[in-house]
Structure 1
């Protein structure tokens, strides 16, 4: 880099007569101001994608209508779930971290914007000295001054940096919304898992109690010589097997409960009192609108994050390209020195200087060109990430739609199977007590009934989980305001103070 300075001027308030006119360099200022509006590098244009008119798994009438994403979880009609989500929005640590990133991005934008403005620094000093020799004398020297500089944004390097920072702020705000979408979906998912585990525990207890009663009846018949010892052993084994499922279900319930506690910003077991009273698995109102694929570009905040990062990477190309062009800076300073403070304002003690400087890249071994190529490659990576994000979003919606549709059909069949197995179990038990059927038929009927009812609960969980996944994949989330201005950590002492000599442990 070679720096060339031109048209500099310095002197006192009353400079000596000279052939040089200080108006000459100022004549270049209008030109500099015009050039400061120039820009290099590509201007960002939001890419367009050709998408299908409808989702391929939209089969039911009304599903193509726009999705109702605002506060979608309230459609489940569970006040406890609503309370948990409200708490998670306020207290979740991932959300708080995303808020901090918004503040960071906002501060970065302010910092880059400051680069477009002139800077000024003041200085002052006071010195007392004593000369040596036979007749030493004491003397004072007081100095004060002001210096200012302004970089003319000749080819838009600083403007591109501001543009990139603005896109970065947009990305941080959309990332906060994406965090909210994930948080709400996770809270709802773990909540319905907890309710499903409660339902499965209750079913296992009821079934085990019924099977224990069967053991008692079989033992009575064995004592009367009506059945064999094998029937007693089979009845006892089946009851024990059913009871053995309960600890595993309790583990799953505890894991979901603990996850909910952390999601809502508390300790793992902080929601035990709220969740201990069982409630049914929330069920969505169907059918649901899913909109069209193009809606995802506007409703999914994670896609907006990727698009804003693409815009940010595009602006960074301009900043890298501008570094390859000349740069102009305007600098000036005024200073005064005197032996007494009262003489600082006298003309004879005041000096000043002013002048622009030009920096021209002459030789840098291709580093600046390589930096511009790095920025272009990063822009390409951002574009591909955006494109991949769109395809992934489409995949998630399609999966949720087919899962919701197929799980509804499966639940209908499982409900019919559970009714049939319940009837078969009642008939087998009645016939066994009357002696017209074997105990093996009772065991098989009880086992089939328990399996069908447990599968039905799991299917009901799958329906609600698919509903949650659909709303999450469509971009549904928090529609209220989020305070991003309040820091998580408040510093009480920021002003100057005596430094501690020994650090705290």
Structure 2
């Protein structure tokens, strides 16, 4: 420390910036970039076996592009569906929460990175007072002004802060993936609700046609009873059937209204405007717009945002083990300051300029009651848990894909049978109705044929809805879409890498 001792003598400060920089470079050369986890904390090979080597770096769904998401839904040839999905995404609290998580993760990453660089603070102070008397002489009132800069830097010798920074980077990337997951979930939920309404419309048409048919049968039965050709009990049965059909139509209309209410809640579109849009753009559930999925290789699961995020969490937990381990090693810190002070009395003015480099302080932990060792054990436990969660996510993804493919296969195989059944029961009802009008069949026979036809027609519409829902489920299970092109063959893995299975999860031919 160098200081002047008189206001009449002035000492020029040296260029302390280059001096600080030289010390930083010399000490920084001792730093190790990256954590040094304990050997038992190394990543076990089995945590990534469900995916091929390097699979955790797969691209996000649709390349992380909002345009890609809408373009996939445009393949359904239903512009209204795309509009509803875009509207729902803009008001979804799930998407908003995911976006907030991204900002929080970004802030954490910046904060952890800032711990690795020197800190610089500006300090200023002012005081006025009178000192203790000396030689029975009253000292003058002194005004002291002081200003300067203080800096401190803890050198990351063993990678503690670098590991924390890298862990936060991993979580930041994972939060971005979960934002895409939120978008995919919103799109799938709206699409499912939309197809439910479209199926409800068709079921309502079936119910109304059935109610009209029953009402006409009741009218004819009433006329026939009044003419004395049928017993009053027959007319009563016909009226009861007509009332049942009318009630079924009312119930189906209520279900359609509930679907519209759900779409309004999901998209925040005015109900009157939404009803008009739905009425102006009818949809055909029988048209197959998605491209056929022949197989789904296991590698495709790497694009699922939840698996991507789980892999990032494993990496982050592994880095935190290294950070906790580094806390048990010595710490090296450097500080410095540059100050200028001015002391003024009624008789004189003095200036004091000071600068300091140091101390260069080495702290060696000796005893902390086992706290640092406990922190390492806790970090290892979190790592093992995140690895287990990753494996569970992969198993869940495989199950969801296989279930969607099974449903697609099942609906494809049942479609022809359902159509044939509906056509056959329609022909049977038509014949029975003609026989009833000719007096050759009873009303009980007619009603039995009508119920069978209604069930067959409802089954066709329900099957169409289930098939659309299976497509949506596969879309969600694959993380937001897929490509019919053959996936690229992964590069040969090194001896230290354990490749995952490359066989298809399941196959289907819709």
TM-score grouping bracket, smaller chain normalisation: 0.7 to 0.9
Structure 1 pair 131–358 and aligned structure 2 pair: CA distance change class (3 A): closer
SS state at 2:126 partner: strand
SS state at 1:196 partner: helix
Which residue in the other structure is 1:248 paired with?
251
1:278-327 per-position Cα deviation (integer Å, ceiling 9, x unaligned): 72343433661254332233321111011111111111111111111111
Structure 1 residues 300-311: aligned runs within 5 Å: 300-311=304-315
Aligned-partner Cα distance in 2 for 1:344–1:413 = 108
Among candidates 393, 397, 401, match of residue 397 of structure 1: 401
Structure 1 pair 122–270 and aligned structure 2 pair: CA distance change class (3 A): farther
- 1:229 equivalent to 2:232? Answer yes
Aligned-partner Cα distance in 2 for 1:247–1:365 = 73
1:114 Cα offset (Å): 0.9
Structure 1 pair 159–240 and aligned structure 2 pair: CA distance change class (3 A): same
- 1:204 equivalent to 2:207? Answer yes
8 Å contact kept, 1:320–1:372: yes
- 1:34 equivalent to 2:25? Answer no
SS state at 2:441 partner: coil
1:345 Cα offset (Å): 11
Among candidates 414, 417, 421, match of residue 417 of structure 1: 421
8 Å contact kept, 1:171–1:305: yes
Aligned-partner Cα distance in 2 for 1:290–1:382 = 33
Aligned-partner Cα distance in 2 for 1:461–1:357 = 71
Which residue in the other structure is 2:77 paired with?
77
1:233 Cα offset (Å): 1.6
8 Å contact kept, 1:293–1:394: no
Which residue in the other structure is 2:501 paired with?
none
Aligned-partner Cα distance in 2 for 1:437–1:81 = 47
1:348 Cα offset (Å): 4.2
Structure 1 pair 445–261 and aligned structure 2 pair: CA distance change class (3 A): same
Q: TM-score, normalised by structure 2?
A: 0.79
1:277 Cα offset (Å): 5.1
- 1:124 equivalent to 2:108? Answer no
Aligned-partner Cα distance in 2 for 1:28–1:351 = 17
Which residue in the other structure is 1:100 paired with?
100
Aligned-partner Cα distance in 1 for 2:368–2:240 = 83
8 Å contact kept, 1:109–1:169: yes
Among candidates 264, 267, 273, match of residue 267 of structure 2: 264
1:349 Cα offset (Å): 4.4
Which residue in the other structure is 2:144 paired with?
141
- 1:474 equivalent to 2:470? Answer no
Aligned-partner Cα distance in 2 for 1:86–1:405 = 30
1:99 Cα offset (Å): 1.4
8 Å contact kept, 2:70–2:82: no
SS state at 2:252 partner: helix
8 Å contact kept, 1:189–1:468: yes
Aligned-partner Cα distance in 1 for 2:348–2:375 = 49
Which residue in the other structure is 2:327 paired with?
323
Which residue in the other structure is 1:434 paired with?
438
1:347 Cα offset (Å): 6.6
- 1:168 equivalent to 2:168? Answer no
1:217 Cα offset (Å): 0.4
Aligned-partner Cα distance in 2 for 1:38–1:31 = 16
Structure 1 pair 415–372 and aligned structure 2 pair: CA distance change class (3 A): same
Segments of 5+ residues of structure 2 without an aligned counterpart are 5-9, 12-18, 53-67, 484-510
Structure 1 residues 282-297: aligned runs within 5 Å: 282=285, 283-285=287-289, 288-289=292-293, 291-297=295-301
Aligned-partner Cα distance in 2 for 1:43–1:143 = 52
SS state at 1:117 partner: coil
- 1:382 equivalent to 2:378? Answer no
1:168 Cα offset (Å): 0.8
1:238 Cα offset (Å): 1.6
8 Å contact kept, 1:12–1:347: no
8 Å contact kept, 1:141–1:338: yes
Aligned-partner Cα distance in 2 for 1:306–1:412 = 42
Aligned-partner Cα distance in 2 for 1:37–1:81 = 50
RMSD: 3.2
Aligned-partner Cα distance in 1 for 2:405–2:223 = 53
Aligned-partner Cα distance in 1 for 2:32–2:284 = 63
Greater Cα offset, 114-123 or 351-360: 351-360
Which residue in the other structure is 1:159 paired with?
162
- 1:239 equivalent to 2:242? Answer yes
Q: TM-score, normalised by structure 1?
A: 0.80
Aligned-partner Cα distance in 1 for 2:412–2:207 = 24
Which residue in the other structure is 1:495 paired with?
none
Which residue in the other structure is 1:183 paired with?
186
Which residue in the other structure is 2:371 paired with?
367
SS state at 1:151 partner: strand
8 Å contact kept, 2:342–2:351: no
1:45-89 per-position Cα deviation (integer Å, ceiling 9, x unaligned): 98532579xxxxxxxxxxxxxxx9984332322121121122223
SS state at 1:336 partner: strand
Segments of 5+ residues of structure 1 without an aligned counterpart are 1-9, 16-22, 53-67, 480-505
8 Å contact kept, 2:153–2:333: yes
Aligned-partner Cα distance in 2 for 1:123–1:51 = 55
